[in-house]
Amino acid sequence: MLLIDSIWLFEVCLTPIEFDAKHFISNLTTRPGVYRMYGKGELLYVGKAKNLKNRVSSYFRSTGLTTKTMALVNRIDEIEVTLTKSETEALLLEQTLIKQHRPPYNILLRDDKSYPYILLSEHQHPALLFRRGGKAGEGKLFGPFPSGTAVRESLATMQKVFKVRQCEDTYYANRSRPCLQYQIKRCSAPCVDLITDDAYDNDVRHTRMFLEGKDQELLNEISQSMTAAAAEMEFERAADLRDQITQLKHIQEQQYVYGQSGEADVLAALIKPGGHCVHLMIIRGGKVVGSKSYYPKMPLEMSESELLTTFIAQSYIGGAQELPKSLILSHELNDMDVLSAAIFESNKKKVELSANVRGQRARWLDLAKLNAEQGLQTRLLDKKHHFSRATALQKLLGLDEPPKQMECFDISHSSGEATVASCVVFGPEGPEKKRYRSFNIEGVEPGDDYGAMRQALSRRYKRVKSGELEAPDVLLVDGGKGQLTQAEEVLSELGLTSIFLLGVAKGETRKPGLETLYIGSKEDEVVLPPDSAALHLIQHIRDEAHRFAITTHRKRRDKKRRHSSLEGIPGVGPTRRKNLLTAFGGIQELQAASQEEISKVKGISSTMAQEVYLFLHKT
C-alpha cells in the first residue's frame, strides 16, 4: 500500500438513519480531498476532487445524472471525506484506497499481476528467464512487456538465435547430460561443459545487445565474425553465424520499426455503445515490443479522457514496473499536470504526458487507435453473437429471460490417475475465465466419474448454498443420465431447486451436432438440428469445460510424475538421490538392491542405507 506522509487528514463522517445530502453538503469544505461513498456498510465508490463541495454536490443535483450514477446515489447512506493539501495528494490517496478496497463502482482496469519482464540472471552461465514485477534482485531485467505471451515469444526467438539457457538454476545444477533443448539446438549445454565459458559469454553479450535494441551493431559484429571465420577456413562456424544473421534480419522484418530510438507507452481510448477499450502499445528502442487491449466494465458513465485518466492513475501511480520516458495519449486530459505530478511523487521519475504529437509518435498513436477500434469491434460482434445464442437457449429451455450465468462441469483423468473436475462460467458476454475453478478429486475410486462429479458439485454448491457464490441460472453437466442424476441429487440435498439442469450426452457416433440433451431431467430427451444457435452455445460451453479439465488434469498428472518416490526419505537430498539412481540405473533396480549394496553408494552411510531400504520396502 502506498504511504503518503505529507497528507493533512481531516475526517468528516455522517451516519444518520436516512442520509441527508443537503445538510451534509452544506457543511463540506471547498478544499481538495478524497470522498468515500458507502451503502449498508459497503464501500461503493472512491473519488478525488479539487473542490470537495462542488464535486460531491454534483451527485445530488436534480437533473443531468446518468442512469448508472443515479443507481449509485440511491444506494448511498454514508459519505466520508479526507482532506489533502493538494489535488496531487488527493489522487495518490484515491488510488491507494481503490487498489486496497476495490469498490464496485470504480473501474478496475488491470489485474493484480504486474507487467512481465525478461531476466538475464547473474550466474557463471547466465540464464534468460520469465519474471513478473520490476525488482531486479537476481540480475538485469528487460521490459516491461504487455503480456506473458509477448515475453514467451521473445524467449522462443532468442533460444533459436543465441542458444542461451532458459532453465532455472535448480534444474541446471542437477544435469549430468544435455537435455532435450540441446538436442533440438535451442541451448548450447553449458551445464555439462559442451561450450567454453568464453563462447557462452559471447552469446550472452549478443543476447544483451539484442534486448537493448542494438540490432545494427549486433549484425555488424556477427558479420565481421563470419568473415573472419571464413578467412580462417572455419566454414562450419561461418555457416552458423550466417544462419544467425539471417534469423536476426527476419526478426527485424517482423517488427514494426519507425526509427532507431524511442521509449514510450502509447494509450488509445475508445468508447462505443455496448463497450469500451483502452489499447496499450509499448515502444522500446523505437520498436513496438507488444500491445494489449483492456475492456473495462464501467459502473459509471465517463468520457474517453476520464477513462484514460483512470487507467493511467491505476497503472502508473505506485506501481513497481519500469516507467517509460513518455506517455502518448489519444485524448487531452483535464488534469494532466496533476497526473504527471502524482506519477513523479510515487515513482521519483518524471514521465512526459502528451496528446498532440507529430511524426514518428503520431504514427505510433495512429496504430494504437487502429488496434483499439479493431479490438472493440471484434469484441462487440462476439458479444452480439453470444447474446443471440443465449436468446435461442432461453426459448429452448422456456426461461423468462436469457440466462445471465451458466456453469458447466466435466471430469478428466488418465485411467483413474490424477482425477480433476472443471467448472467453467459463462456470463452475459461469454466465458469469464477469472471465475473458472478446478477441483482435485480425492477419496473416490479411480475411474468413478459419477463419484467424482458428485464430489465436485457438492464442493461447489455448498458455497452457493451458504451465500459465498452466486447461483447460476443454468447448470450444464457433460455426460449422460448418470452424471445428470448426481447433479439432481446434489442440488436436491442442498435445496437449490431454482437452478435449471441441462445434461449434454454425445450421440452414438460421438460427432458434434448429434448430442442428446436432457432438459430439466433425464427423462426429457431432445436432439437439436446441427445449425441450432442454442446447440452451438451448449457445444461452446461443453467444449470449454472439456478443454479446461484436460489442461488442469495434465498439469496435476505431470507434477505428480515429476515427483521422485525418494523425496520422502529424511536426509536424502538431490545429490544423494542422484547418486542412488546413477549407481543402480533406476528406481526398480534400487528397490531390488540389498541394504549392503545401497551402503556402497557415494554419500550413503550404513545408517542412511538402512533408512533408504526400510523406506523402499515399507509396504
Structural domains for the chain? 11-101 (3.40.1440.10), 116-254 (no CATH), 264-377 (3.30.420.10), 406-555 (3.30.420.340), 565-616 (1.10.150.20)
State the pLDDT at residue 15.
Answer: 41
Q: Which residue has the cell 505471451?
A: 149
**Three-class SS state of 146:** coil
* Residues 392 and 532 sit within 8 Å (Cβ to Cβ): yes
Res. 200: pLDDT tops 80: yes
Average pLDDT in the 531-537 region? 84
Beta strand extents in 242-331 (DSSP E only): 264-272, 275-284, 287-294, 326-329
Half-sphere exposure of 430 (CA within 13 A, CB side): 13
Q: Mean pLDDT, the chain, as a whole number?
A: 82
Q: Residue 417 is placed in which grid cell?
A: 490417475
Instruction: Say what the pLDDT of residue 294 is.
Output: 86
Burial readout 499-538 (b: 16 or more C-beta within 10 A, e: otherwise): bbbbbbbeeeeeeeeebbbbbeebeeeeebeeebbbbbbb
Q: Tell me the whole-structure pTM to 2 decimals.
A: 0.58
Rg of the chain (C-alpha set):
30
Q: What is the mean pLDDT of residues 348-362?
A: 86
In the predicted model, is pLDDT for residue 476 greater than 60?
yes
pLDDT above 90 for 184: no
Amino acid at 26: S
- Give me the phi and psi of 31, to 5 degrees please: -75, 160
Q: What gap in Å lies between CA 338 and CA 311, rounded to an integer?
A: 14
Alpha carbon of residue 316 to chain centroid? 18
* Grid cell listed for 554: 495434465
> What pLDDT is attached to residue 54?
92
Q: What is the predicted pLDDT for the residue at 1?
A: 38
User: What gap in Å lies between CA 556 and CA 563, rounded to an integer?
Assistant: 11
Q: What is the pLDDT of residue 16?
A: 42
At which residue does the C-alpha cell 471484434 appear?
A: 378
C-beta atoms surrounding 362 within 10 Å? 12
Amino acid (1-letter code) at residue 553: H
For residue 133, what is its C-alpha cell? Answer: 514485477
| Angle (nearest 5°) at CA 113 between 410 and 293 | 85
Q: With 70 as the cut, is the pLDDT of residue 512 above it?
A: no
Residue 50, C-alpha cell as written in the block: 479539487
Reference 45, options 25, 75, 17; nearest CA is 75
By residue count, the chain amounts to: 619
**Distances from the Cα of 329 to the Cαs of 13, 155, 309, 336, 362, in angstroms?**
38, 30, 10, 11, 10
pLDDT of 53 higher than 60: yes
**pLDDT > 70? residue 35:** yes
Question: Distance between CA atoms of 224 and 190, rounded to whole angstroms?
Answer: 25
Burial of 166: CB neighbours in 10 Å, binned 0-12, 13-18, 19+ = middle
Min mean pLDDT across 81-95, 164-178, 254-268, 307-321 is at 254-268
